[in-house]
Amino acid sequence: VVTKAAGNPYNEKEASGFQEVIEAEGGTVIVKHPETATADAQISVVQSLISQEVDAICIAGNDENALQASLQEAMDAGIKVACMDAKVNPDSRMTFVNQAGTMEIGQALMDAVLDISGGEGQWAILSATSQATNQNAWIEAMKEVMQDEKYSKLELVEVVYGDDEPQKSTDVTQALLQNYPDLKVICAPTTVGIAAAAKVLQDSGSACKLTGLGLPSEMSEYIGDDDAHSCPYMFLWNPIDVGRLGAYTSIALVNEEITGAAGDTFTAGELGDYEIVDAADGGTEVILGAPFKFDPSNIDEWKDIY
């Protein structure tokens, strides 16, 4: 299993779900967290996994196209390649384990921005890396949703990138507040970004509010309806289950129960039955579930789970 980068609790949870399932099935797992969230760092990891003759690689891609040569080399060597979390292009994978429907996430985030802003005003996006295919797909989905008349009084002033590094995410959040004093909402579709921004906004007592995709364990102290809290509510899914579904998909590919084609079905243990479907990019995907909303009423139940 190859994640985006080291030092990100979300990636560690994904890898732990993957490891749990493979080991329970009697397999061996090599967990690789590259040092930086770049395609280059992942290419050397993939090359070493090819020489180790692993049966399968499940990767959260740091770039849509840059890994193609390496992942094709892996598939040519008989290695089953799936991606999860952040997809690589259809030629680089057999299928993609997608955490939730892309448009559903875009819709949920745009409706949160509309609601939290009071229906109008400036807002900004704090993303991960500029190459991240998952964040970029969600941003595109938000922009598409925003075309509707209902959102016409909202002004998206900027998309900034914190590269899933806490310090850089903190710095770009501070710059947003300085550059746009009337900013009403920041939407951070990354667990690293939202946690960094939550602290900046809450510590400074800013009137700007926050939503996005966050880990309950990192965000519980910032979730609240009053002025003392920076994030009224946010969304996510269970990252451990993303890893588990990645593992069941890899096992089904290795056992040749599935090939990754649309219409293939398999059982993912306690997660239930799944079907591989056509993805919007011409490849295929399997969707874990729907995004889940975390707010003051349920955050305490979830903060110790993930």
Write out the residues near ligand RAM by the rule CB under 6 A. 4, 8, 10, 60, 85-86, 128, 132, 134, 164, 190-192, 213
In the complex, the smallest distance separating the C-beta of residue 61 from ligand RAM, rounded to whole angstroms, is 10
From the CB of 255, what's the least distance to ligand RAM, in Å? 27
The residue among 55 and 295 lying less far from ligand RAM, judged by its C-beta, is 295
Are 296 and 226 within 8 A, CB to CB? no
Minimum distance from CB of 288 to ligand RAM (Å)?
11
What minimum distance in Å lies between the beta carbon of 225 and ligand RAM? 23
Q: How far is the CB of 259 from ligand RAM (least distance, A)?
A: 26
The residue (of 163 and 264) whose beta carbon lies closer to ligand RAM is 163
Please, which residue, 10 or 274, has the CB nearer to ligand RAM?
10
SS3 287: strand
Which residue, 50 or 67, is less far from ligand RAM as judged by CB? 67
Secondary-structure breakdown of the chain: helix, strand, coil percentages, each rounded to the nearest 5: 45, 20, 35
CB of 43 to ligand RAM, least distance (A): 18
Q: How far apart are CA 265 and CA 158, in angstroms?
A: 41
Distance between CA atoms of residues 228 and 12, nearest Å:
30
- CB of 85 or CB of 264, closer to ligand RAM: 85
For ligand RAM, the closer of residues 90 and 243 by Cβ is: 243
Report which of 60, 57, 49 is spatially closest to residue 85, judged by C-alpha positions: 60
The whole-angstrom separation of Cα 213 and Cα 18 is: 21
Give the integer Cα–Cα distance in Å for 233 and 193: 15
Place of tokens 């949160």: 112
Using Cβ positions, the residue closest to ligand RAM within the complex turns out to be: 10
Q: Taking the CB of residue 46, how many other CB atoms lie within 10 A of it?
A: 23
